[in-house]
Structures are given as C-alpha cells and as structure tokens.
Structure 1
C-alpha cells in the first residue's frame, strides 16, 4: 500500500468510487487550487485507489492553524486492513508538517468503525457535541 498526495484532477476523479457522490471536474480543480486543502490517496499494489482522506486547514487569529479531517473513505474490499488508520496517521503527519496545533474530526457517536479507526490512530474523545447545519438552495450544484 502506497499513500500519496493527490495533485491532479485525474487522480481525484479516478477515486470516484470512494466519494459519497459523483465528483465534478470543476470542483476537483477548485479543491486542488484552494490553499489549505489536502487529499491523500492509498493505492493498492496494482494502483487501485483503495482509500482516501481529505483535510482542510482552518485559521483563527487567536488559535493559529488546525486541520479538519473532512472525509475518510476506504473501499469495501480493503476495509479492516489498517488502510483507514494509515491514511489518518498520514494526515496527522501532514498536519504536523504544516505546523498545525491539532487535527480534529466530527464523528457520529454510533459510527463504531470510524471511532475504532480514529482511536487506533491516536485520537482522543473530547466528548459529545451537537452539530447544527444550515442548508442552502444552491443552483448549479
């Protein structure tokens, strides 16, 4: 298994099976062009994208920079083999290399697979919190 940083639209689109929905070329281009965005892809021996993790830097005047683990996905055939943990550890290393003061992720409390993965990669449970969302009617989505 090799983990590498995605730097091309082609790499992002080739991992389409790992996203929640179909990736769009224009969004892939914008993701790569945006400062503070990172996508790491785990490749199987045959070059198949077996998993991915994305992160986004967040900066605040009184805190500095932290990295949010935005999404982790592992192809079903590669689950329970340490791919998710390896991707999470690689993103944590990326956060350290960028000088971030922490890496964080929000997880549904009943998502046992994600909780096991993040804990095995060294994450500490900060306790329950509530996430509130505003959804907007966006045209051309």
Structure 2
C-alpha cells in the first residue's frame, strides 16, 4: 500500500506550503492566479504524515481542429521519495483528470538526456517522439 495520497489542489495556501517542491518559491499571488485560471490543474502527493512529497501540473488545451488535450506542465518528486511510485501515481491521477475533462491526449516535453523523466513517462504509457523540437521565448519583453 502506498505511503501517500494524491489530491487536486484548490487552496492556494497548499501550493505555498509545498514551495520546496518547485523550482522557485511559490507566492500566494502566483498560487491564486494559477489555480484561478481556467484549465489549470495542480495535484499534490502527500505522505501519510502530511508532508508534500511531489506534484504535477497541467493545462487543458483546445485547438479548433483538434480534440482537447492536457499539457503536462511540470512534474516533481522530493529527492527522498523518488523511485517509490510517486511520479507514476501523479501521472495516473493527472490522466484521470484529463479524461474527466474530455481530453483525448496528454503531452509534455523534457530534455533529451533526462533519462529519469523519459523512463517515468514511458512507464506511464507515453510514446517518446524523438523528432520533436521545442522552441522557446524566455523573455518576450526583451525582444
């Protein structure tokens, strides 16, 4: 039996409290804005003693000539909880959210050399498209 549960975040304070899982500290305004945006979802994995041990975030997308799909924005698991099935459980829960929202697909991107992420996504049933390229504008105001 798993030593954690996965729940959808509805309270911005939960994200602020889970800041240690994110790349940067989560501000109350950032958490509230994220959770208030249509189509955005954040799931947290919590240990039996209440510690936040992982998260996954996604954004529902729709284009006029395609079915709805969910973009897996970010996935993270606390170092001490890796390789225990937390990421797999988070991905399965995000899949269920996507299906409940009527999404037909889910996709994400990662670095080509991120072996851990690629293995996790493969184990969750994803196909790896080696031919894709991500194009990034990091600072729209600069150019």
**Same fold flag (TM > 0.5):** yes
Aligned partner of residue 62 in structure 2, secondary structure = strand
Provide structure 2 residue ranges, at least 5 long, that are not aligned to the other structure. Answer: none
Output the CA distance in 2 between the equivalents of 1:18 and 1:75: 6
Tell me by how many angstroms 1:136 deviates: 2.0
- Counterpart position of 1:16: 19
Output the CA distance in 1 between the equivalents of 2:137 and 2:40: 22
Q: Of 117, 121, 125, which residue of structure 2 is paired with 1:118?
A: 121
Pair 1:38 & 2:41 matched: yes
Output the CA distance in 2 between the equivalents of 1:118 and 1:89: 11
- Counterpart position of 1:53: 56
Tell me by how many angstroms 1:12 deviates: 0.7
- Counterpart position of 1:85: 88
Which stretch of the first structure deviates more once superposed, 102-111 or 119-128? 119-128
Tell me by how many angstroms 1:132 deviates: 1.4
Aligned partner of residue 129 in structure 1, secondary structure = coil
Output the CA distance in 2 between the equivalents of 1:11 and 1:31: 12
Output the CA distance in 1 between the equivalents of 2:138 and 2:117: 25
The TM-score with structure 1 as length reference comes to 0.94
Residue correspondences, number: 139
Pair 1:27 & 2:30 matched: yes
- Counterpart position of 2:103: 100
Moved over 6 A (4+): none
Tell me the C-alpha RMSD between the 2 structures: 1.4
The TM-score with structure 2 as length reference comes to 0.92
Pair 1:64 & 2:67 matched: yes
Provide structure 1 residue ranges, at least 5 long, that are not aligned to the other structure. Answer: none
Tell me by how many angstroms 1:137 deviates: 6.1
**Deviations along 1:27-66, whole A, 9 cap, x unmatched?**
1111111110000000001010000000001111110311
